[in-house]
Chains A and B, each alone.
Chain A
């Protein structure tokens, strides 16, 4: 069961990477932009 969970997780991560690689340059820029903001969210949430 543990191995199965790990496999599912791995497949999900690989799937996300493949989806990212196949997305348009514009979508990549959007995801990068959002990704850059994520570390600030805990601070933003409390201000």
Chain B
């Protein structure tokens, strides 16, 4: 008899969501996390009295999160406090211009009138098209299993209103935003979000072109740090008996006759289960935990054909002074062309970009309790991709270079005397992300996301190569991001219930 009904490898949002949902259905579930903290990319760690977020800095599109708690028979509000952040962004352009986008669409229209009067009509069309798309597609696409053409067809036939949005999927992010806007400033304010899905505007899927609108439905920061979200899901799962063990690394999947039946841990212990769910990167799951020798050729070709999403360094700063910022997120941005240029002329050539295209996150604005009294935190995400193996350089040296680049940028845009007020500063490099999150080459958004690697072209939630193996998280369904990984957790639990419920 198996030790557990379900073993989930990885306590990221996808793994915890799947684990909690199947626990509620009576499955004896064990979640194994190699790190000492849960949450994966959506987590928080403590250093020198400051609480820094590992990667994810806000949650938007909270419907999947609410739906998850509904399915768990509870209310999200009982498990975590989400603090609304308004304005969504404050922008600083490379020529020093500053403006902010408030959450309210009407108020934002007034900002658009000021910065790009010629694009007000485009903004109105963007809102009208985008809001109807978000409303129509939320349940239909985000929370529906779509591993196969027939499942996708079923979704389309059941929700014919979504068919009109099909061209959006075929276009690039840049193609979508250019169809609404002409003004360079307006374009750059809605184009950089493609990097949130790990791709430059000219390659990212058109569907991500609407991230700039979905943010107006509200962006939120969990009290206590981003770990508040996985901690809330974990707590809900534990109420149904889900067990979570941290600091436990899985070395191999136990497989017999093409069927998964448990895991072997790094210390040699084996734990058996009827079902194994992997929340790890798809390539790590198949090529390391399963192993190419236990996979059919087509499966090896399939999984090896994906590229990983971009790595980008993150700098964690603890300050003893309030920064001169206006919003939770401040974007130091540049033209749409330079966003593509960073990808084509630096990242693809394994060169370190000259610009960081930074996203400065100020979490202590929403939750002062993250830092000692009167002190503040800035999480500085280099939105420009950095190569894993830079030519003629190494990350030991670059760590210092990035630290200095971040401080210079903070001096220029945020706090002129920042050097005198830094109490803590640390850099997380692609190598650190690789070790911490087990994402090959430190690609923080999992596998690269475009139209050829989403939904039915992303590794299936229910493995076809190995029976009783399921995938969840950023490597499956709709890719990386807080709402999408939670949605993948819901979808994977639906497959498990269908097969074993």
Most buried by A among B286, B340, B463: B340
Given contacts A44-B457, A45-B457, A47-B303, 7 further A-B contacts (CB under 8 A): A26-B174, A26-B340, A34-B452, A43-B298, A44-B453, A47-B282, A47-B298
Within 8 A of B (CB), among A15-47: 26-27, 29-30, 33-34, 37-38, 40-41, 43-47
Q: What number of B residues sit within 8 Å (CB to CB) of A?
A: 28
A30→B202 CA distance, assembly (Å): 6
Q: Does A43 contact B301, Cβ atoms closer than 8 Å? A: yes
Scoring B residues 252 to 289 as 1 if CB is less than 8 Å from chain A, else 0, what string do you get? 00000000000000000000000000000010001000
Q: Does A38 contact B452, Cβ atoms closer than 8 Å? A: yes
A44→B452 CA distance, assembly (Å): 9
Grouping DSSP codes into helix (H, G, I), strand (E, B) and loop, the A interface class, with mixed when no group exceeds half, is helix
From B202, B301, B457, B464, A26 is in contact (CB under 8 Å) with: B202
Q: Does A27 contact B344, Cβ atoms closer than 8 Å? A: no
Name the residue of chain A whose CB is nearest to the CB of B295. A47
Q: Does B450 contact A47, Cβ atoms closer than 8 Å? A: no
Q: Does A41 contact B452, Cβ atoms closer than 8 Å? A: yes
A43→B459 CA distance, assembly (Å): 10
B306 interfacial contact with A, CB 8 Å:
yes
Q: Does A46 contact B202, Cβ atoms closer than 8 Å? A: no
From B175, B305, B465, A44 is in contact (CB under 8 Å) with: B305
- A47-B299 contact, Cβ under 8 Å, with A26-B202, A33-B450, A40-B305: yes
Q: Does A30 contact B299, Cβ atoms closer than 8 Å? A: no
- A47-B175 contact, Cβ under 8 Å, with A29-B202, A37-B453: no
Which residues of A have CB within 8 Å of B175?
A: 27, 30
B303 to chain A, nearest CB (A): 5
- A47-B286 contact, Cβ under 8 Å, with A26-B202, A27-B175, A29-B202: yes
Name the residue of chain B whose CB is nearest to the CB of A37. B452
A34→B460 CA distance, assembly (Å): 20
A8→B428 CA distance, assembly (Å): 56
CB within 8 Å: A-B pair count = 62
B172 interfacial contact with A, CB 8 Å:
yes
Name the residue of chain A whose CB is nearest to the CB of B173. A30
A45 to chain B, nearest CB (A): 6
Identify 13 residue pairs between A and B in the complex whose beta-carbon atoms are under 8 Å apart, listed by A's number. Answer: A30-B172, A30-B202, A30-B203, A40-B452, A41-B452, A44-B453, A44-B459, A45-B302, A46-B464, A46-B465, A47-B286, A47-B459, A47-B463
B456 interfacial contact with A, CB 8 Å:
yes
- A29-B452 contact, Cβ under 8 Å, with A40-B305, A43-B302, A46-B299: no
Name the residue of chain B whose CB is nearest to the CB of A39. B305
From B203, B302, B344, A46 is in contact (CB under 8 Å) with: B302
B133 interfacial contact with A, CB 8 Å:
no
Name the residue of chain B whose CB is nearest to the CB of A43. B302
Name the residue of chain A whose CB is nearest to the CB of B463. A47
Which residues of B have CB within 8 Å of A34?
A: 450-452
Q: Does A47 contact B302, Cβ atoms closer than 8 Å? A: yes
A33→B204 CA distance, assembly (Å): 11
